[in-house]
Amino acid sequence: MGGNLGCHRSIPRDPTDLSCGKRKFSAACNFSNILVNHERLNINTATEEELMTLPGVNRSVAQNIVEYRDCIGGFKKVEDLALVSGVGATKLEAIKLEICVSSRTNSSQHSPSSLRRDVEHQPCTGININTATAAQLMSIRGLTEKIVGNIVAYRAEYGPFRSIEDLVRVSHVNSSLLDKIRFQVYVERSRAPSTNTNGGLTGTTKSQPSPTSFSLKSDDLDLPPGGPAQIISGRPNVDPPLGLRDGKPAVRLATWSLQGCSCEKANNPGVREVVCMTLLENEIKILAVQDLVEREALDKFCVELNQGTLASVRTWKWPRGVWKSIVSEKPTGRSSKGESYSGFLWDSSSGIDLKDAVVLDHPVVNGNGNHAHPQLYLAHFLVSQSELSQNQIQTLVILGHFGSSPQSSEFDVLRKEKLCPLVLSSQFTNISTRCPQGTLCLDNIWISRSLKKIYSGHCMVVREGLTNPWIPDNWSWGGVASDHCPVVAEFYINLSSKEMSRPAMAAVDRDMMPKHER
């Protein structure tokens, strides 16, 4: 064993550090031949025993590394080691100076561009959870007979899984177990969208294989370091957009808190695809956005919708529209990353145009003399040339991240103004890969009495298509674009004077401070 350890540089970068006695050696024993060899440990060829000489790597973690390596055909980058169960960011940071990545025949490290090209030719390894029999699933280390039965039953009821992350929806499968079996399985087909989240807007989607989330041949994409083993994105195929409800023209208005959206986040191709394709697939024509930590971030989505650099956006079968955006000049709220802004995206080709927008000053100031957050971002839109006049100011929508259930007493002020919420407190609007169905009602759309005349009665919380393989999920991949779901409401437009006395619509973006931040 001592001879094999010669490839591992487990000594101080400065040999004189030996005298101070503060160095914690990663090797279990101290061999003299190690002291003259400065090579790093190649994690693509190292044995379990050699991997165990790394700090914090025990037999179980070493086995996980070997199994994951065999499953994916070898690590492409040192950072990929963080995706192995039992390693993570902290342990990787402690050992990354002692390891390297090279193939069995070539010592050069793969570049991100070569990774993108090579993925096309990498066969799927492991067990396809969509086609495997119960006996085959039992061969997966970590699965019991009961869990296998739950997987088969879930698959029979809801159809094929769309991604590996969907396994957490199966009873007795948690994130810890998923990390353990992730490298033993793969998904080949996309899963049909669930039927309990469309809130009345049914019959708009059906399960179909989806295009890749972006061109594999493009070297210009701003891809996260490391990256997932597979880069195929599962998008639902949708029916042609009609823009009608009961034979009448209708427009869909939505709100979405993008959870600390910076330019870096908006540049992630997975996030861009989720946001843009969600707008197109759900026929959303006006989107109120909250929690932008950089004003320029919203423009990234606007450019993508208009130019279509991602394959899924570029190959959209129907017109993408002509999109415009606006972001508040002043901060309207606070997030975990500091001050945040609100904004709007809208499709001007659908007869929608912005008249004006302004941040309403908060009447309360803090001890520094600054306005308290949150503040209202008020926008007046022209919808099908129906201009909002002064005596129609009550025709409004208040929408955004409210941070509380609509039953909360803090919204009594809205109820006194005869506004009503469209999303019930029993309908959750948050989402995560660990809890896809959510647990809280944080986002909402409140409409005035006059808008009830043009409200089509259809409102939904969008849950499908919100994950992407290129969105980080802690130290894994396939995360959600935001921990908030888009909330969509539908309104009639161009009705006769007998049907509606106030034809236009004003949208107010409301980003209320969650209770724990007040």
pLDDT of 108 higher than 80: no
pLDDT of 217 higher than 70: no
Q: Are 98 and 41 in contact (CB under 8 A)?
A: yes
pLDDT of 215 higher than 80: no
pLDDT of 365 higher than 60: no
pLDDT averaged over the chain? 75
- Domain boundary assignment for the chain: 41-100, 127-186, 244-361+375-492
pLDDT of 514 higher than 60: no
Determine the Cα–Cα distance for residues 414 and 47; give it in Å rounded to an integer.
Answer: 65
> If you average pLDDT over residues 39-67, what whole number do you get?
86
According to the per-residue pLDDT averaged within each range, which of 55-59, 81-85, 444-448 is highest?
A: 444-448
Determine the Cα–Cα distance for residues 220 and 312; give it in Å rounded to an integer.
Answer: 16
| Residue 84: both structure tokens together | 């192995």
Determine the Cα–Cα distance for residues 226 and 79; give it in Å rounded to an integer.
Answer: 6
Q: Could you tell me which residue, 343 or 53, shows the higher pLDDT?
A: 343
pLDDT band at residue 444 using 50, 70 and 90 as cut-offs:
very high
Q: What's the pLDDT score for residue 502? A: 38
Q: What's the pLDDT score for residue 271? A: 95
Q: What's the pLDDT score for residue 515? A: 38
> If you average pLDDT over residues 439-464, what whole number do you get?
92
pLDDT band at residue 387 using 50, 70 and 90 as cut-offs:
very low
> If you average pLDDT over residues 457-467, what whole number do you get?
94
Q: What's the pLDDT score for residue 368? A: 52
pLDDT tens-digit map of 137-163: 887 888 988 999 899 888 888 888 888
pLDDT band at residue 188 using 50, 70 and 90 as cut-offs:
low
- Chain centroid offset of residue 430 CA: 12
> If you average pLDDT over residues 231-258, what whole number do you get?
84
Determine the Cα–Cα distance for residues 231 and 391; give it in Å rounded to an integer.
Answer: 53
**Identical topology for domains 41-100 and 244-361+375-492:** no
- Relative orientation angle of helices 269-281 and 297-307, to the nearest 10 degrees: 60
> If you average pLDDT over residues 268-285, what whole number do you get?
95
pLDDT of 465 higher than 60: yes
Q: How far is CA 390 from CA 65, 247, 394, 417, 502, in A?
A: 67, 30, 9, 18, 11
CATH 3.30.465.10 fits 127-186, yes or no: no
Q: Could you tell me which residue, 106 or 489, shows the higher pLDDT?
A: 489
pLDDT tens-digit map of 8-23: 443 334 433 433 444 3
> If you average pLDDT over residues 505-509, what whole number do you get?
44
Determine the Cα–Cα distance for residues 177 and 144; give it in Å rounded to an integer.
Answer: 11
Give one DSSP letter per residue of 243-259, joined into a string.
Answer: -EETTEEEEEEEEEEEE
pLDDT band at residue 394 using 50, 70 and 90 as cut-offs:
very low
**Total-model pTM:** 0.57
Range in 80-94, 195-209, 359-373 the model is least confident about = 195-209
Give CATH superfamily name and number for 41-100.
Answer: Photosystem II 12 kDa extrinsic protein (1.10.150.320)
pLDDT of 6 higher than 60: no
Q: How far is CA 393 from CA 348, 388, 389, 456, in A?
A: 22, 7, 7, 20
pLDDT of 135 higher than 90: no
Q: What's the pLDDT score for residue 227? A: 59
Q: What is the DSSP letter of 11?
A: S
pLDDT band at residue 313 using 50, 70 and 90 as cut-offs:
very high
Q: What's the pLDDT score for residue 424? A: 93
pLDDT of 305 higher than 90: yes
> If you average pLDDT over residues 118-131, what whole number do you get?
60
> If you average pLDDT over residues 262-275, what whole number do you get?
93
Q: What's the pLDDT score for residue 180? A: 82
Q: Could you tell me which residue, 180 or 35, shows the higher pLDDT?
A: 180
| Residue 452: both structure tokens together | 């009830």
According to the per-residue pLDDT averaged within each range, which of 123-132, 274-283, 398-407, 498-507 is highest?
A: 274-283
Determine the Cα–Cα distance for residues 98 and 50; give it in Å rounded to an integer.
Answer: 12
Q: What is the CATH number of domain 244-361+375-492?
A: 3.60.10.10
Query: What whole-number percentage of the chain has pLDDT above 70?
Result: 70
